[in-house]
């Protein structure tokens, strides 16, 4: 694994905007950064892929344990939703079952799990589309660990027969930066490529039809199936949470409510409890664990309210709005500084299978100003296919 400095394409802004990445810069700072790239050997990609598959296995085991032992309350799941979560876990309703493992990896030791973003993961468009387009333009003879787009389309095709004949709604909150809206628009494109009929709806426009006991969109159309880029912990905290649980009998929510088992950091201490010393896990607890550690809020996002503590000294911390949710403490894992920041590997899964990755760089805490830096695989030479990996076969 190495970082190489490059000259950005002269028209890179227009190119990424044409593909939908409208938030390529933030407050004058680059988010999409093609002035560098990371290069990996096939062996390193194999290690990341294998670790991701192994971590998914651990999460399955942890989910089974939480359900069997009745530990849903430890995950901050409201009591009225417990039965619904357990029922969905057993029934496995239609889902993309996608997400992003954030991993610490520098090529000199096993990948270490920081957290799993599996309910409303972002940085998807840039991982699936933008960096692939960059690679095709800049390094056409090399490959990339990137079958994300194809996997999403294939999964929509797989679950389409389970969604009924009505349109699939795509719901999100309006956001000034455009990240959520464009992420949903991209996922909607993948669903339409799979042959599904889709409709867009803002979360604020969704209403409850008391007579029909159904959620409806702004045009009073019944919502039979809906993809929501709006986290379950927010949904279950709304005034309509009782109706939401009731709606599970008639509405297919993607991702399903069982994702609450995995979508908060309280699962990390449970993973360590079940698999202590596992090479892909970091020690974690619900109380301070001593030594060098990281304090994280249960439902924090974009690195908000995180603090890094070396002994009794706080060496880095971030602001945010998640201070009242409770905390977990995770062993600090030092990332290698490649000269442009500390890279975090975002390893993507679809239907529980590793399919590609993206890389973000930042300081000690990876926040919403982190840069996204593309990658290539160049460890075998000659531009031949990396057999066994989820590399893309699309034509551009």
Phi, psi angle pair for 52, to nearest 5°: -65, -40
Domain co-membership, 243 together with 202:
yes
Give how many domains the chain has, as a whole number.
Answer: 2
Tens place of pLDDT per residue across the chain (396 aa)? 999 999 999 999 999 999 999 888 777 788 999 999 999 999 999 999 999 999 999 999 999 999 999 999 999 899 999 999 999 999 999 999 999 999 999 988 999 999 999 998 988 999 999 999 999 999 999 999 999 999 999 999 999 999 987 899 999 887 655 678 889 999 999 999 999 999 999 999 999 999 999 999 999 999 999 999 999 988 998 888 999 999 999 999 999 999 999 998 999 999 999 999 999 999 999 999 988 888 888 875 565 567 788 777 776 676 655 455 678 899 988 888 888 689 999 999 999 999 999 999 986 666 667 899 999 998 643 333 333 344 444 443
Domain co-membership, 204 together with 314:
no
* Contact between residue 130 and residue 21 where contact means Cβ atoms under 8 Å apart: yes
Does some domain include residue 353?
yes
pLDDT of residue 394: 47
pLDDT of residue 314: 77
Residues in the chain: 396
Domain co-membership, 203 together with 315:
no
d(CA 26, CA 177): 8
Domain co-membership, 185 together with 305:
no
Does some domain include residue 49?
yes
Q: How far is CA 60 from CA 95, 258, 271, 272, 390, in A?
A: 15, 11, 10, 14, 22
pLDDT of residue 30: 87
Residues 291, 371, 332: CA angle, nearest 5 degrees: 10
Among 70, 51, 7, which Cα is nearest to 33's?
7
Q: Which domain holds residue 291?
A: 283-331
* Last residue of one domain, picked from the residues 274, 309, 331: 331
Among 228, 285, 268, which Cα is nearest to 251's?
228
Phi, psi angle pair for 288, to nearest 5°: -50, 135
* Contact between residue 273 and residue 241 where contact means Cβ atoms under 8 Å apart: no
pLDDT of residue 257: 97
Count Cβ neighbours within 10 Å for each residue of 267-288 and write b for 16 or more, e otherwise. bbbbbbeebeebebbbbbbbee
d(CA 132, CA 356): 11
pLDDT of residue 178: 67
| DSSP secondary structure letters along 205-221 | G-EEETTTTEEE-TT--
Domain co-membership, 312 together with 232:
no
Domain co-membership, 289 together with 354:
no
Domain co-membership, 19 together with 43:
yes
pLDDT of residue 315: 66
Does some domain include residue 8?
yes
pLDDT of residue 176: 59
Name the one residue in this structure whose structure tokens are 């994280």. Answer: 296
Domain co-membership, 292 together with 183:
no
Longest CA span, the chain: 65
Name the one residue in this structure whose structure tokens are 């912990």. Answer: 233
Domain co-membership, 222 together with 198:
yes
Span between the terminal Cα atoms of the chain, in Å = 27
């Amino acid at each position: 694994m190495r970082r190489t400095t490059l000259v950005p394409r002269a028209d890179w802004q227009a190119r990424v905007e044409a593909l939908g990445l409208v938030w390529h810069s933030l407050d004058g700072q680059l988010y999409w950064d093609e002035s560098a790239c990371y290069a990996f050997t096939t062996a390193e990609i194999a290690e990341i892929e294998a670790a991701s598959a192994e971590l998914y296995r651990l999460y399955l085991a942890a989910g089974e344990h939480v359900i069997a032992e009745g530990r849903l309350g430890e995950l901050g799941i409201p009591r009225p939703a417990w039965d619904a979560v357990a029922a969905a876990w057993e029934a496995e309703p239609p889902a993309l079952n996608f997400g992003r493992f954030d991993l610490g990896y520098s090529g000199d030791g096993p990948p270490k799990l920081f957290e799993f973003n599996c309910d409303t993961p972002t940085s998807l468009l840039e991982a699936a589309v933008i960096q692939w387009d960059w690679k095709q333009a800049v390094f056409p003879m090399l490959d990339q660990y990137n079958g994300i787009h194809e996997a999403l389309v294939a999964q929509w095709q797989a679950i389409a027969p389970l969604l009924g004949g009505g349109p699939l709604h795509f719901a999100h909150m309006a956001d000034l930066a455009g990240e959520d809206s464009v992420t949903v628009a991209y996922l909607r494109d993948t669903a339409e490529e799979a042959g599904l009929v889709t409709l867009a709806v803002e979360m604020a426009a969704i209403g409850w039809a008391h007579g029909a006991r159904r959620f409806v969109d702004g045009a009073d159309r019944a919502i039979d199936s809906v993809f929501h880029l709006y986290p379950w912990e927010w949904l279950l905290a709304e005034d309509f949470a009782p109706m939401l649980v009731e709606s599970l009998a008639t509405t297919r929510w993607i991702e399903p409510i069982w994702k609450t088992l995995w979508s908060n950091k309280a699962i990390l201490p449970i993973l360590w409890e079940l698999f202590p010393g596992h090479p892909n896990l970091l020690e974690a607890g619900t109380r301070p664990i001593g030594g060098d550690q990281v304090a994280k809020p249960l439902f924090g996002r974009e690195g908000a309210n995180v603090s890094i503590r070396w002994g009794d000294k706080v060496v880095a911390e971030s602001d945010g709005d998640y201070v009242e949710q409770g905390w977990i403490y995770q062993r600090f894992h030092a990332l290698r500084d490649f000269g442009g920041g500390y890279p975090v590997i975002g390893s993507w899964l679809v239907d529980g299978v590793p399919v590609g990755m993206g890389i973000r760089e930042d300081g000690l805490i990876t926040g919403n100003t982190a840069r996204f830096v593309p990658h290539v695989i160049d460890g075998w030479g000659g531009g031949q296919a990396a057999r066994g990996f989820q590399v893309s076969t699309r034509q551009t």
